[in-house]
Every structure is written in structure tokens, then in C-alpha cells.
Structure 1
Amino acid sequence: MSVLLPAAEPQEAALVSRAAAGETEAIRQIIKTHNQRLYRLVRAVLRNNADAEDVLQEAYLNAFTHLDTFEGSASLSTWLSRIALNAALMRLRAQKRLKRTAVTYPAPATGHMDAEIIPFPLSHSTTADPERIMAQRQLLTLVEEATDALPESFRLVFVARVIEGLSAEETAAALNIPVATVKTRLHRARKLIRTQLEEQIGPILINAFPFAGMRCARLTEAVIMKLGLEK
């Protein structure tokens, strides 16, 4: 049974046409609209901030140089998600091959690398509460660590469905797996997350792995520059 996905809206199709024609503002709008979601999906594969940003830039360059292949049978979000995930998985496979061929190199003396806490938007209040800020950071650290600890197949589904809010059908299309598999993996991922977090922090409001502000703007302009377009 085929999965019906939302097709591109006329407004979205028009935006794609403008971007395909090399209109800088259209490209910038597409990037800023989808940055957060795509960054989180890519990072769910690579579990490294710098690698995720690098791969996301590669994915955008690939997408914008092949916009003529976007047919609109699925949404632009789904199409971009597939490209970004493929790029991330290719990078992950390359990293694994490199590790297998570099067995003679000693492990770093500093031990395992702790996950970097990704900055996230805080309250706009002029009187920031240091304790509240610290609690928020600790909460997000726990969520990020629990998510990173999931097996890859569960982690991708969890990020797509829970953090990004994709439908089961959209997730299945992006990951090229059956909808039933998405539901099964999500159930197991939630159970693993709940087991790890339940006793420590109770109900969780997930707002992890943001990609906005200066980082979003920097990547947007880098893609525009590499496409050879004027600002």
C-alpha cells in the first residue's frame, strides 16, 4: 500500500521556481524555514555539532543545484529531509570506514569527549534568573544525552516524530521505511528515553538541538556564496 504524502503547495512551488532561477531571497527563505528541522535530523545521525553543520551545508548545496529534480509530488520539507539524511548517512559510513582503516592510531589521552551543550534561546526577560538558566541547561543536557544514547534507527525516528513533529508518513518517506516500522521504533525509543529520564526529571518538555540566530545566518550566507549568487 503506497503512502500518501502532502504535495507541494502552489506557494511553495512558486518559491522553489524562484530559487531555481537563482533568486537569492528565495534561497535564503527556504534555508531559514527548514534549518532547524534539517539540522536536528542530521545531528541525530552524526551526534556531532560541527559535522552536522558541515553536512547540512553540503546537503543545501546539493539541493539547490538540483532543484530541477523537485517535482512537487511530496512537500519541499520531505524532499530536503531525504537529501539531508542521505548526506548525513554517507558521512557516517565514511567515518566508520576511516575508523576501520586507522586502527594503528592511539586513542586520545583525554578519554571520551563529552557532548557539547548546544546554545538555545533563553527568556527575553531583562532580569535573567541564573538558577533558572542553569536548570534549563541541565534539563536540555539530559535530554540531548538520552537522545544521543538511543540506537541510530530509534534515534532518527524519535527526532523526526517527537522533536520535529513529522507525521508517521513523512518520517517513513524521509527514512525510506514502512509506516509500521516508524511506529514500532518510536514506541521503543520512547520507552528507552522514559526509562533513562523518568526518575530524574519527570515529564519532559523537549526543546533540544536548536539551530538559529547567528549560526543559522552564517550557514545561510555560506550557501548563498558557494552558489555564486550576490547577496
Structure 2
Amino acid sequence: MSSLGMLERARMEGWADEEIVRRVLDGDLALFELLMRRNNQRVYRATRSILRDDAECEDVMQEAYVRAYEHLNQFEGRAQFSTWLTRIAVNEALRRLAARGRMDPLDMPYDGENDAIPEPVSNAFTPEMNASSAEAASLLEQAILSLPQTYRTVIVLRDVEEMSTAETAEALSITESNVKVRLHRAHELLREELYARAGASAAQAFGFHAVRCDRVVASVMARLGATRSAS
């Protein structure tokens, strides 16, 4: 079967990543393309949360994929392939960050990381963060990118990519307890950042727009007119 045919068969039959990895190791290099396409979004988000630079993210993603291919025989299946790949990408992004020779002041670690875990810990965005429109999504993205890297990455993996606590801990090489603490702190910081960014336009919130205003006025005036006529 041709490489193109094998790719189509893998898509049609929904082969698991682990099955594709086995076939790539057996010599079917073309199938590695499918692994990349399946994981591009997650790998991009993980690296972007660390580097905050699209062009550099692409470089790091390429390097991460090459490293993953070169060490594919070391994938033991103890974690999901996507988690294993994300860990490689995160490590590559952190190496790139370290190579800059200085840390962004925003990326200084939080001193309270080992504090007791607050309860309850939410695993999802609060209602004010649950943005559906493009404008709100853009605001949310910029707010996340303004957070320290420690929190950016955790909130992207847990809330945006919806990875489990265990998967996030594996990808970031930290404990599950630290994931929970960082996520809780990230939610606090993100909420503060969103409120700050929205402050400039707070006066326009809950606007009673012209069309609605006209509709209500017309309705009331019609009712008043009817009442006056009846009297």
C-alpha cells in the first residue's frame, strides 16, 4: 500500500497514536505526518504559553518533532503519546528560553507554590472566562499570555487543552499537587488580569443599545396612548 493510502487508512480506521508509533518504528515514516497533525494544536499551545512568540514557536515545534522521531523507540506507552510529545516540546521551549540568557521578570516562580492546596480547585474557566466570541477569545488569549510562564503553561494545558492533572504533571515534570496549586493561582491572576483589561470599557458594559431603546420606547408610548384613549 502506498504511503498516501496508509495515511488515509489510518484516518479512516482511527488508529490510536500508539499503533501509529509502532508502524513508524517498523519503517512507515509517512505515518509520522499523522502524529504531527493530530498533535500540532496542543504542541503549539504548550510552546506558545512559554515563549509568547509565534515564529520561535514554529522553530521549537519543528525541533521537538525531530527529537521525538529520533527518540521514538524510547516511548514506552506509560503515558499517552500526546503527553510524551508535549513534554518534549515543553522541555525544548524551556531550553530556548534559558538560551536567551535571562528570564522574563514575569516568569519568576511563585513563592507559594508549595502552599496547601485550596479547596475546591476548579478544573474549568469561571463564567467570566468562558468566552465564545472571537473578541472575547482574543482578550482571554492576551490575558493568559500576560501571566508568568509557570502559570501560563499550566492553565493552557489544563483549561485550554483539557489535559488531566496527571497528564499535565507528566508533561511539565512536576507533581500533581503542584499542578493544582499553580492552576488555582493562575485562575486568580487571570481573573484579576481580565478585570483590569476590561476596566477601560466597563462603562460600556450591559449597554442598552439604540434598537432595544427604540423598541421599548415605542411599546410604552403605544400602551400609554391606548390608555389615554380609553380614559
**Are 1:153 and 2:130 counterparts?**
no
Change (3 A) 1:13 1:194: same
Higher relative contact order (CA 8 A, sep 6+): 1
Equivalent of 2:87 in 82, 86, 98? 82
**Are 1:62 and 2:67 counterparts?**
yes
Match of 2:56?
51
**Are 1:165 and 2:170 counterparts?**
no
What amino acid maps onto 1:88 in structure 2? A
Higher helix share: 2
Residues 41 and 159, structure 1, Cα contact 8 Å, conserved in 2: yes
**Are 1:71 and 2:79 counterparts?**
no
Unaligned runs of 5+ in 1: 1-9, 100-134, 203-231
**Are 1:177 and 2:174 counterparts?**
yes
Distance in 2 of aligned mates of 1:43 and 1:162 = 15
| Corresponding pairs, count | 158
Match of 2:223?
none
CA-CA distance at 1:198 after TM superposition: 4.0
Residues 152 and 186, structure 2, Cα contact 8 Å, conserved in 1: yes
Match of 1:144?
141
TM-score, reference length from structure 1 = 0.63
The worse-fitting range, judged by mean Cα deviation, of 186-195 and 49-58 is 186-195
CA-CA distance at 1:14 after TM superposition: 2.0
CA-CA distance at 1:149 after TM superposition: 1.0
Rg bigger for which structure? 2
What amino acid maps onto 2:182 in structure 1? R
Change (3 A) 1:165 1:98: closer
TM-score, reference length from structure 2 = 0.63
> Runs (4+) of structure 1 moved beyond 4 Å?
none
Match runs of 1:21-60 below 5 Å: 21-60=26-65
Unaligned runs of 5+ in 2: 1-14, 105-131, 203-231
CA-CA distance at 1:160 after TM superposition: 0.6
CA shift digits 1:38-89 (9 cap, x unpaired): 1100111100000001100000011012111111111101110111111100
